[in-house]
Amino acid sequence: MDLGLKGKSVIVTGGGSNIGRAIVLGFAGEGANITIGDIEVAQAQRVAEAARKAGAGDVQVIETDVTKLDQVQRMVKAAVKKYGTVDVLVNNVGWDQTMFFTKTTPEFWDRVIQINYMGVLNCTKTILDVFMEKGKGAIVSISSDASRQGEPREAVYGGIKAAVNSFMKTIAKENGRNGVRCNAVCPGVTIPEENEEVGKNSMWVNKDTMFTPEQLEKVKKALPLRKIGRPKDIANAVLFLASDNVAGHVTGQVLSVSGGYSMVG
């Protein structure tokens, strides 16, 4: 099936690691022109090279901290300058450290909020100026199934991701008349297969700080599909929602891609 993404201009924030990397490579396989916005330029450049080999029309890396509005604006301007427009924004940047809420601090709360929510606000606000002018565009935000179920040791993160879900629905309602579609994808536990898939700032740089092998085995056994998610699983869902050809009548939706961890409906 032709997703119609060949030649489209796509921005992927946090495209250098784990899920973001898989999303970039997925769009590359469809022949898209990709702008990777990432704070780790060297890691992102490695992904860009892999994307070129995978069939991307073109790839550029723009150093971007999504918590800084001026840097987000610079990233979007660079995409428009090089590719003429932007067709798809993927709000992928995310960060967390798992711990019980009683162990967290206000400084931790602020970092989770800034990266996982303010980053989405900055990118969405900036891209809407482009989309509203052209009368078309798609936004896909990476959320988390912790936003739908509530998850021990992810109280702040899950709450913020629930805010992302609600925000995407509201933006979809406000801007559907302008041809803008907005959706969210909620991964469950999704781990990279190789260490080179993550950068030094990734929450997965040391897998054992997130889940021990024994914990991962318990997670696997608890899921209906009996397997842990991989980055490509999430990328496939993003490509679907980004495509006007197959998801052109889909907006304001929150899609769980978690092996059955949550079943909302």
- When mean pLDDT is compared across 6-10, 71-75, 163-167, 197-201, the lowest value belongs to 197-201
Written out in words, the top-level CATH class of the domain with range 9-257 is: alpha beta
Which residues lie below 8 Å from residue 67, measured CB to CB, with a gap of 6+?
114, 115, 118, 119, 122
CA distances to 205, 217, 260 from 10, rounded to whole Å, are: 26, 36, 29
Q: Report the share of the chain in percent with pLDDT over 70.
A: 93
The more confidently predicted of residues 132 and 195 is 132
How long, in residues, is the chain? 265
Q: What are the pLDDT digits (tens) for 54-84?
A: 999 999 999 999 999 999 999 999 999 999 9
Q: Identify residue 177 by its one-letter amino acid code.
A: R
Q: What does pTM read for this prediction?
A: 0.93
The sign of the torsion formed by the CA atoms of 77, 62, 65, 230 equals: positive
Strands 33-38 and 58-63: parallel
Cβ proximity of 126 and 69 under 8 Å: yes
**Which of the four pLDDT bands, split at 50, 70 and 90, describes residue 197?**
low
Mean pLDDT of 12-29: 97
pLDDT tens digits, residue range 95-111? Answer: 999 999 999 999 999 99
Residue 201 predicted with pLDDT over 80: no
Q: Predicted confidence band at 255 (pLDDT cuts at 50, 70, 90)?
A: very high
The dihedral region occupied by 174, where left means phi > 0, alpha psi between -120 and 50, and beta the remainder, is alpha
User: Running DSSP on this structure, what letter comes out for residue 101?
Assistant: G
Q: Which of 8, 1, 7 is nearest to 140 (CA)?
A: 8
Q: Which residues are catalytic?
A: 157
Report pLDDT for 195. 61
Element (H, E) at 34: strand 33-38
Instruction: Name the band, by pLDDT with cuts 50, 70 and 90, for residue 191.
Output: confident
Supply the pLDDT for residue 206.
62
Tokens describing residue 157: 């993160």
H-type helices in 116-243, by residue range?
A: 119-134, 146-149, 155-175, 213-222, 231-242
* Average pLDDT along the chain: 94
